[in-house]
């Protein structure tokens, strides 16, 4: 039989130390979970076919914070990928970028790329862009990663 004895006068100190240990375990678990989430987001980006030049896919990051961790994407267009955009007209530079995209992703010739870009830009002007909700739809997975990592950490205490 195992036994742990704590004298009453040392109980408070023991509880405070246990609280500190659990808090540190939570911090480690949060950061480990955010690293797992980054890998999940990269895979999800590929599965959803969002990858073109890899800017969005390679811009998922995890950061340890004093109170936990965060996972974010710092690509310039990440907000549009996540939440979409209202209908809007594109500047000429945007249409040229769409033409290059059409050649890469749609396989159209350089000659036909501007026609495709104009057609796409008119659709954007009429309907906007649909959000892909990569981060929003990964919340349950993030919670699962945290639960798994916290369980590991607490077992090691």
Yes or no: say if 85 and 123 are a contact pair by the CB < 8 Å rule.
no
Which helix H or strand E contains 73, and what residues bound it?
strand 68-73
Q: Is the pLDDT of residue 94 over 90?
A: yes
With a pLDDT cut of 70, the percent of the chain lying above it is: 100
Length of the chain: 157
Q: Residue 12: its pLDDT value, please?
A: 86
Q: Is the pLDDT of residue 4 over 80?
A: no
- The chain-wide mean pLDDT, for the chain, equals 95
Q: How many helices (H) and strands (E) does the chain have?
A: 5, 2
- Predicted TM-score of the model (pTM): 0.85
Query: 62-88: per-residue pLDDT in tens?
Result: 999 999 999 999 999 999 999 999 999
Query: 8-48: per-residue pLDDT in tens?
Result: 788 888 888 889 999 999 999 999 999 999 999 999 999 99
Q: Residue 23: its pLDDT value, please?
A: 96
Which helix H or strand E contains 81, and what residues bound it?
helix 78-83
Q: Residue 7: its pLDDT value, please?
A: 80
Distances (CA, A) of 114 to 59, 102, 120, 125: 28, 9, 10, 16
pLDDT band for position 5 (cuts 50, 70, 90): confident
Q: Is the pLDDT of residue 55 over 80?
A: yes
- Alpha carbon distance 43, 79 (integer Å): 19
DSSP code of residue 134:
T
Q: Residue 34: its pLDDT value, please?
A: 98
Q: Residue 135: its pLDDT value, please?
A: 98
């Amino acid at each position: 039989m195992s036994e742990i004895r704590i004298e009453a006068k040392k109980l408070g100190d023991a509880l405070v130390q246990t609280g500190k240990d659990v808090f540190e375990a939570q911090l480690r678990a949060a950061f480990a979970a955010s690293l797992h989430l980054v890998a999940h987001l990269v895979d999800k980006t590929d599965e959803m076919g969002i990858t073109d030049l890899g800017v969005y896919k390679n811009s998922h990051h995890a950061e340890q914070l004093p109170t936990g961790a965060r996972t974010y994407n710092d690509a310039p267009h990440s907000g549009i990928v996540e939440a979409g955009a209202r209908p809007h007209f594109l500047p000429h530079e945007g249409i040229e970028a769409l033409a290059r995209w059409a050649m890469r992703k749609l396989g159209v010739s350089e000659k036909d790329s501007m026609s495709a870009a104009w057609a796409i830009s008119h659709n954007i002007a009429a309907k906007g862009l649909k959000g892909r909700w990569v981060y929003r739809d990964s919340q349950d997975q993030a919670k699962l990663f945290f639960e798994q990592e916290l369980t590991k950490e607490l077992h090691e205490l």
